[in-house]
Structure 1
Amino acid sequence: MHFISTAGPPESTVSIMADETDAQEPTERSKEPERLTQIRFDDFPIPTEILAGLKDLGNVYCTPIQAEILPLALANKDVVCLARTGSGKTAAFLVPLFAGVLSTPDRRTDIPFALIVAPTQDLCLRIHEEAKSLGRYTGLELAMVVRGQDDQERGLAFHQNAPIVIGTPGGVIDFYKKGLLKTEGIKFLVIDEAERLFTQRLAGDMRYILRKLPHSRERVSILFSGTLSYRVLAVTYDFMNLPDFVTTTPDQVRTNDIDQSLFHVASEEKLRLLLGLLQRETWKRALVFVSAREEVDFLTQKLMDNGLPAEGVIEGLPQNKRRNLMARFKGGKIKILVTTDDVARGIHVEDITLVVNYRLPQDGETFIRRLGRVTLPGRAISFASEGDAFFLEPIEQKLGYKIPVLWPQDDWFKEDQARATLSEIEESPAQPAKKPLKERREGIPFLTGKKVVFSSEPGGVFGLAVQPKASPNSEPGRPQKRKKRHRSRPRKQKAASKRPSEAIDTTGEA
């Protein structure tokens, strides 16, 4: 895995967003004027090196969230922002972060200046790639710290003292305890997707990290969250310096412009209906959402067995494999990606014209986030089975309307070819019957040196019996006669020696 890079001239491995901007034709999503404001990036005091990187990525005008955050963060104020994925928040914190590093020439070069904490390795990788593209003209180095790196990788990651560190909570703590990550020089902190970082499982790790940083008055802190739970609010008051709260209108995924359909279908029929709909619908790229990693593996294999170009994306996928997979997806070799909500946050690909909710999410916010992956005009299909139909109510409350219901016709279902192949195997001519156990002798070696075989003869224990040793003079393959066991006769009792006084007088004398 590549853990350190110099944000120098453009390379072949740039972020997914950059590749899409350069390689593909403009789509309806990129043409939407509602997503952008009339505020330009060069209206702010941003160094020219950063503006050049923004221009290369096609970013001239700010999104609403960027227009709100940039004036605050560039003025060294703490910010708490309620924003969803895909709203431009990554550039909203990378621009002031790069500006802060470049505007502090007297900073210590032997310790990091900025720290970005994200919940998963996949998200850290995406931030790393976007930072590499955005800061390509700054000459600043980037380091990514995650758990599981060996000592050589650790040394490589911090050999040149990268000023910007991106990591997961576990990776940051691991490197800190090893003495490889110094936190006393952190002047810029970014917490991304705080609603996932401050869950019951990770809240302790995050508070540990925050206590190792300089005081909140000595650094700039930016926090992004999809929801403002009580845990997130507590952190903003305990570890931030009077932050400004920014709540953007949900840049609403224009759900009314997405052709949606809801199918009430039994769990065992969902695969057949999905196969039929993928054959009936017109789509360029499809994103299929499930709820667990095991379902990703199962559904991906089923789609591939039925001749569909599908791949599964799971959390923890090695960086080189993930890049190769995404390149194949963008190149059209893969048409369908099966994934979960957590992993999908790191996928940014245009021309996804179909989203399938194979499993409904448990809340409306996640459902809307899924719809945001569709390039307008697009199509969204949702399955409601007996296991997740009760999630419909909160989803439709969030949407503000009922999802149109379609009742599939019988010919919309397509048989699972993998199952058909299995049926053909089962219906093939029967194989010759195997010999009964009595005639089979499959030896099983035991530690005792004896040989035990399967047997149906009396005396076997659970079908096992000890195999008698073959006579050296016996012919191979010929059943051996059992040797008769001769019991040893009891020994005759020896005549007891008699004492002289007890001897019998045969003479008859007194």
Structure 2
Amino acid sequence: MGKRIFGYFEQKEAKAGEVLERDPSPGSGLQCRPPAAAASGPLFTSFDLPKAILLGIQDAGFERCTPIQERCLTLSLKGRDVAGQAQTGTGKTAAFLITVLDRLIRSGPKSGTNPSALIVAPTRELALQIYEDAKVLGGHTPLRMTAVFGGVDYEKQARQLKEGTDIVIGTPGRLIDFLKQKVLVLNSVQVLVIDEADRMFDMGFIKDLRYLLRRLPPYDKRQSMLFSATLNYRVLELAYEHMNAPEEIYIEPQERTVDTVEQCVFHVGLEQKLPLLLGLLKRENWERLLIFCNTKAGVEFLAAKLRGNGYPAEGITGDLPQRKRLRLMERFKSGELKILVATDVASRGIHVEDITHVINYDLPQDREDYVHRIGRTARAGKTGKAISLADERNVWYLEPIENFLGKKIPVVWFGEDWLEQDKAGRVRMPRKEPYAQARQKKERRSGSDRPKMMGAKKHESGPGRPDSGRENPQESPPVRSKGKKPRKRRAGQKEPSTVQAAASREAGAS
């Protein structure tokens, strides 16, 4: 393959922390092209593409097609609907972006401000990644692109949509929000793309996705493309319900994992897990490290422990504020942050160069997540190492992973000299708020006023109501014992003290 050329981006924080400025100067780069070894198909110049798109392909460093690109473009450039099965990193993003750009350029200038293309992704990170790749491939076209997802400036995104855009890339929740606010209108969409459709099902977005699809032009009035890691029954049902007789494309990876990833597993007890990790950090020659945990609490705990032992580490989880997540990812991409601890939110749709090591501090419960995790290293033909720690809680996931890979992961045995003492001491985890209080805070921040239920009593005691009169409003009101009703005091009469009450009872007994 010819000279490697990358599109470079600098994430600049505007007043809302949004990151959508392109910087053509060299810097912290984002790789848009797939590994050279996978691109052995026909030249992109063999397709009848506009010159502006060919220039964008050249900027991205593409020269030859990958299998999914070859088979998809052969059909999609003729206007056919496509349902493709392809793993992350096979070049499917470029395949549908080239199709979208080609169709919109050939259709000529549009009238109005409504978008002509809609690309739906399950996560904010993937939506932003697609947007950045689109800016490279469409950098020489006059087409305007907008990324919309939660966690960043709502008003700025709304203003961009009102000013007019050609391609909208977003997540289901924010797209529906703009649709209900009449900021986004989808009656002019010519091309629809659904990326990682299987993930839509896994994350519970299928109802939102169907809501969006029902508000698009009929399937015979637009071109539709769907991509998924697996074309299972649920995904195909969605495809045939909302697409126009799509052509099915199956790209089976030759290997589940890249050959340049060196894999190994350590069998370790829970009490030795952290000391072993600290020992590995001293033994391994790592430059940029991605560590995976299965839970948010695990990420926070491990990141705090690593910082306490002198390693600059940060954690990224699904509920981290979006602006902070973007800043963390930018620091990690630029090399300012060397260690990132993450849940599986970072295992799909995140493309960071030069990750030398991936460590599964917790073995993933889903065998496919293992492949996605270790696929973050050894990108673009480089080498990398994937280390897994199997303790007594999650060692049961190892066998399904090895069956999925079709081979055994080499076991490495360690001695006492591998273990490093934990110097961080006790880590205090943030205290969780009761669900009701957290929900009320969230509603107050968003300024939403939920309608009151019909028939609800005005002075009914319950969580958070000011008239409950108890220190802990979740406690039940005191229950009075059966018997005589308490005597009512006259106005101005003081309540007798405990001593007076006892004396009166004694007098009555005598």
Q: TM-score if structure 2 supplies the norm length?
A: 0.75
Distance in 1 (CA, whole Å) between partners of 2:391 and 2:126 is 31
Structure 2 CA distance, aligned partners of 1:420 and 1:115?
49
The aligned residue for residue 368 of structure 1 is 371
Please say if 1:126 is aligned against 2:132: no
Specify which of 240, 248, 251 is matched with residue 248 of structure 1: 251
CA shift at 1:369, angstroms?
A: 2.0
**Secondary structure of residue in 1 paired with 2:365:** coil
Structure 1: where are the runs of 5+ without partners? 22-29, 423-484, 489-510
Contact 2:144 2:165 in 1 (8 A): yes
Distance of 2:203 and 2:99 partners within structure 1 = 31
Equivalent-residue separation in structure 2 for 1:6 and 1:311 (angstroms): 25
3-state DSSP of counterpart to 1:398: helix
Residue 370 of structure 1 aligns to which amino acid in structure 2?
R
Q: Which position in structure 2 is the counterpart of 1:306?
A: 309
Give the structure 1 partner of residue 235 of structure 2: 232
Q: Structure 2: which amino acid aligns with 1:208?
A: Y
Q: Distance in 2 between matches of 1:195 and 1:153?
A: 30
Matched residue, 2:226: 223
How far 1:320 moved relative to its partner?
Answer: 5.5
Does residue 259 of the first structure (1) align with residue 251 of the second (2)?
A: no
1:117 correspondence with 2:120:
yes
Report how many residues are paired: 413
* Equivalent-residue separation in structure 2 for 1:282 and 1:308 (angstroms): 14
Q: Where does residue 342 of structure 1 map in the other structure?
A: 345
Q: What is the aligned counterpart of 1:377 among 376, 383, 386? A: 383
Instruction: Note if 1:394 corresponds to 2:400.
Output: yes
Distance 1:366 1:420 in 2: 31
Aligned to 1:77: 80
Residue in structure 2 matched with residue 210 of structure 1 by the alignment: 213
Change (3 A) 1:421 1:140: closer
Report the Cα offset of residue 179 of structure 1.
0.8
Q: Secondary structure at the match of 1:140?
A: coil
Q: Describe how 1:412-451 pairs up with structure 2 within 5 A.
A: 412-419=418-425
Matched, 1:405 2:411: yes
Letter of the structure 1 residue corresponding to residue 406 of structure 2: G
- Give 1:201 shift: 2.4
Counterpart amino acid of 2:236? L
Mapped to 2, the partners of 1:350 and 1:5 lie a distance apart of 20
Alpha-carbon offset, residue 152 of structure 1: 3.0
Residues 309 and 333 of structure 1 are in contact (CA less than 8 Å); yes or no, is this contact kept in structure 2? no
User: Is 2:305–2:427's contact at 8 Å kept on the other side of the alignment?
Assistant: no
Tell whether the 8 Å contact from 1:190 to 1:222 is kept in structure 2 after alignment.
yes
Whichever residue aligns with residue 369 of structure 1, its letter is H
Aligned in 2, Cα 1:5/1:384: closer, same or farther, shift over 3 Å?
A: closer
**Which residues of structure 2 form unaligned runs of 5+?**
1-15, 429-499, 504-510
TM-score, normalization by structure 1: 0.75
Assess, with a 3 A threshold, how the Cα gap between structure 1 residues 255 and 96 changes in structure 2: closer, same or farther.
Answer: closer
Are 1:17 and 2:37 an aligned pair? Answer: no
Deviation at 1:389, TM superposition (A): 1.2
Which one has the largest radius of gyration?
A: 1
Distance 2:259 2:165 in 1: 46
The Cα offsets for residues 40-93 of structure 1, whole Å up to 9 and x where unpaired, read as 111112211111112112111222211111111111111111111111111111
| Pair 351,225 (structure 1): closer, same or farther in 2 beyond 3 Å | same
Q: 1:414 to 1:93 in 2, by over 3 A?
A: same
- Which amino acid in the other structure matches residue 250 of structure 2? T
Find the aligned partners of 1:384 and 1:312 in 2 and give their Cα distance.
21
Q: CA deviation at 1:198?
A: 2.5
Classify 1:284/1:76 alpha carbon distance in 2 versus 1 (closer, same or farther; 3 Å): same
Secondary structure of 1:304's match?
A: helix
Deviations along 1:302-339, whole A, 9 cap, x unmatched? 11111113222333656654454344334433222211
Q: Choose the corresponding residue for 2:196, options 171, 175, 193.
A: 193
Tell me the CA shift for residue 344 of structure 1: 2.8
Aligned-pair RMSD on alpha carbons? Answer: 2.8
The alignment-based identity, stated in percent, is: 44
Displacement of 1:370 after TM fit? 2.0
378-387 or 362-371, larger mean C-alpha shift = 362-371
User: One-letter code of the match for 1:343?
Assistant: A
Post-superposition offset of 1:3:
6.8
CA apart distance, 1:226: 1.2
What secondary structure is seen at the aligned counterpart in 2 of 1:198?
helix
CA distance in 2 between counterparts of 1:185 and 1:218 reads 10
